[in-house]
């Protein structure tokens, strides 16, 4: 499918719904593709399209967010924070795991840590993201970052050392862009997986419900 054709399709919410509405497997595959190169703009766009494909009012309810907050966070204009990404994932019935980046995404082996160390980091981060719980994910990121030479990691990620400590010290809600930069520096990437089916309240179809007929006088 050409870029122009895809852009035309994704501008139509009904077509988006056919692709992604209440379909965790399709959502997981699409978001994995959008996030595989740790490109912030691609990841943000992917999250926005998936959000807009749903019944947003019901999705906001499932995520524990106000509808306007969901639109504002995932409308494609701001840098979403981890806590809301995890809430969105939980509402969509998907979760993130962390794996080694493919050879095409890796520039060269880092000199500041052993390449084998990244396998352990991927495992720890996957454990942290597994439940879509913010506290566990933040702790895993903190442990992964602080286990490295932070100065070298910050330099590789293009983030100031002081900002690295502040962002991943466990006391703030990190933004997606910085998480992706750190993953890229560690030669890791996100892999989104669908969770087993769970029962939920039925969601209405797109559009407003039909008006009830007036009672005859």
CA–CA separation, 187 vs 115, rounded Å?
Answer: 9
| Residue 131 DSSP symbol | T
Closest CA to 67 of 78, 51, 79, 83: 51
Alpha-carbon torsion (98, 175, 137, 85), positive or negative:
negative
CA–CA separation, 118 vs 58, rounded Å?
Answer: 38
- Residue range 41-52, pLDDT digits in tens: 999 999 999 999
CA–CA separation, 9 vs 66, rounded Å?
Answer: 27
CA–CA separation, 214 vs 84, rounded Å?
Answer: 42
Q: Quick check: is 80 in a domain?
A: yes
CA–CA separation, 14 vs 207, rounded Å?
Answer: 10
- Residue range 175-198, pLDDT digits in tens: 999 999 999 999 999 999 999 877
Q: Which residues of 161-193 are buried (b: 16+ CB within 10 A; e: fewer)?
A: eeebbebbeeeeebbbbbbbbbbbbbbbbbbbb
Q: Quick check: is 211 in a domain?
A: no
- Residue range 13-26, pLDDT digits in tens: 777 888 899 999 99
Rounded to 10°, the helix 176-185/134-146 angle is: 40
Q: Quick check: is 176 in a domain?
A: yes
Model pLDDT, residue 217: 44
- Residue range 85-138, pLDDT digits in tens: 999 999 999 999 999 997 666 666 666 677 678 899 999 999 999 999 999 999
Q: Quick check: is 27 in a domain?
A: yes
Q: Quick check: is 47 in a domain?
A: yes
Q: Quick check: is 94 in a domain?
A: yes
Residue indicated by tokens 């692709």? 19
Q: What is the pTM of this model?
A: 0.84
Q: How many domains does the chain have?
A: 1
Q: Quick check: is 216 in a domain?
A: no
Q: What residue numbers bound the domain in which 104 lies?
A: 9-194
Strand partners, 81: 175
Q: Quick check: is 184 in a domain?
A: yes
Closest CA to 117 of 84, 136, 144: 144
Look up residue 19 and give its two tokens.
């692709």
- The answer to whether residue 54 scores a pLDDT higher than 60 is yes
Provide the strand spans (E) within the chain: 94-100, 188-194
- What 3-state DSSP class applies to 130? coil
């Amino acid at each position: 499918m050409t870029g122009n054709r895809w852009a035309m399709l994704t501008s139509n919410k009904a077509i988006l719904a056919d692709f992604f509405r209440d379909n965790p497997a399709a959502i997981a595959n699409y978001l994995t593709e959008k996030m595989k190169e740790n490109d912030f703009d691609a990841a943000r766009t992917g999250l926005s399209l998936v959000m807009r494909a749903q019944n947003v009012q019901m999705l906001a309810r499932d995520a524990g967010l106000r509808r306007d907050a969901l639109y504002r966070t995932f409308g494609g204009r701001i840098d979403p924070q981890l806590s809301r990404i995890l809430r969105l994932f939980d509402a969509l019935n998907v979760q993130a795991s962390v794996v080694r980046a493919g050879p095409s995404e890796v520039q060269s082996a880092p000199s500041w840590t052993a390449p084998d160390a990244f396998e352990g980091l991927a495992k720890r981060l996957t454990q942290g993201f597994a439940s879509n719980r913010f506290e566990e994910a933040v702790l895993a990121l903190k442990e992964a970052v602080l286990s490295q030479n932070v100065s070298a990691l910050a330099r590789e990620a293009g983030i100031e050392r002081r900002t690295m400590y502040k962002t991943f010290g466990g006391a703030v809600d990190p933004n997606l862009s910085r998480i992706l930069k750190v993953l890229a520096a560690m030669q890791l990437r996100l892999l989104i997986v669908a969770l087993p089916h769970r029962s939920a309240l039925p969601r209405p179809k797109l559009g407003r419900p039909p008006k009830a007929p007036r009672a005859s006088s």
